Chains A and B, each alone.
Chain A
Amino acid sequence: DAGVIQSPRHEVTEMGQEVTLRCKPISGHNSLFWYRQTMMRGLELLIYFNNNVPIDDSGMPEDRFSAKMPNASFSTLKIQPSEPRDSAVYFCASRPPGLAGDPRYNEQFFGPGTRLTVL
């Protein structure tokens, strides 16, 4: 299994530019999570999807951020326009299907992350 795949691994852009981060979850997983990690705020959940449907986007910082999951094997996180304070490592994670209440349902598999730098 290739694991969760994220691209690009590194992105450097200038303030005001649009940034698109991509994620391919593990095949057969039906939940997908986007996290952001910074020194100041640690690791925080931005949004998650179940069966391609956004369930909770309360962690999305503001309207400049948007996420989509057009199918079970692909998701994007877009920032438009980007700002220097968006600089962080963005992780995507996926989880296999299961029954709520089964603790094995909660094991999330993380990708290697995308390091974003906004100048």
Chain B
Amino acid sequence: DAKTTQPPSMDCAEGRAANLPCNHSTISGNEYVYWYRQIHSQGPQYIIHGLKNNETNEMASLIITEDRKSSTLILPHATLRDTAVYYCIVRANFGNEKLTFGTGTRLTIIP
């Protein structure tokens, strides 16, 4: 699986959009980008995933660059409950069951 690089920490004001970047310059054509988050003292939670098109669901939007070497997770209106560690994971879907979690970005929402 391709390696990802994320900033270790970020702050965002409550009510503003939180934009979390992820670099995955070695991504292969069959690899998807997944985002999970882990709120303190809880298990990780799936947020969203994508291949090359931008994706949106009730939790977030995922913007993937045209060359697919980086992506941005957008939380449109951050709340205090969005304070968590956010993990960007890149992996293929064929013959690979594993999710390999890196160090993630610790996002703190400021009141």
> A residues bordering B, Cβ < 8 Å?
4, 31, 33, 42-45, 48, 50, 55-56, 91, 93, 100-103, 105-113
- Is the Cβ of A105 less than 8 Å from the Cβ of B93? yes
The 5 closest A-B pairs by CB, nearest first: A110-B43, A43-B101, A107-B46, A91-B43, A101-B93
Which residues of B (48-105) have their CB < 8 Å from a CB of A?
A: 49, 51, 87, 91, 93-95, 97-103
Q: Does B9 contact A (CB under 8 A)?
A: no
Give the docked Cα–Cα distance between A110 and B46 (Å): 9
Establish whether residues A106 and B43, one from each chain, have CB atoms under 8 Å apart when the complex forms: no
Q: Which residue of B lies closest to A43 (CB)?
A: B101
Q: Can you pick out 8 interface pairs between chain A and chain B where the beta carbons lie within 8 Å of each other?
A: A42-B103, A43-B44, A48-B98, A55-B97, A100-B93, A103-B51, A106-B34, A107-B49
Nearest CB in chain B: distance from A23 CB, A: 11
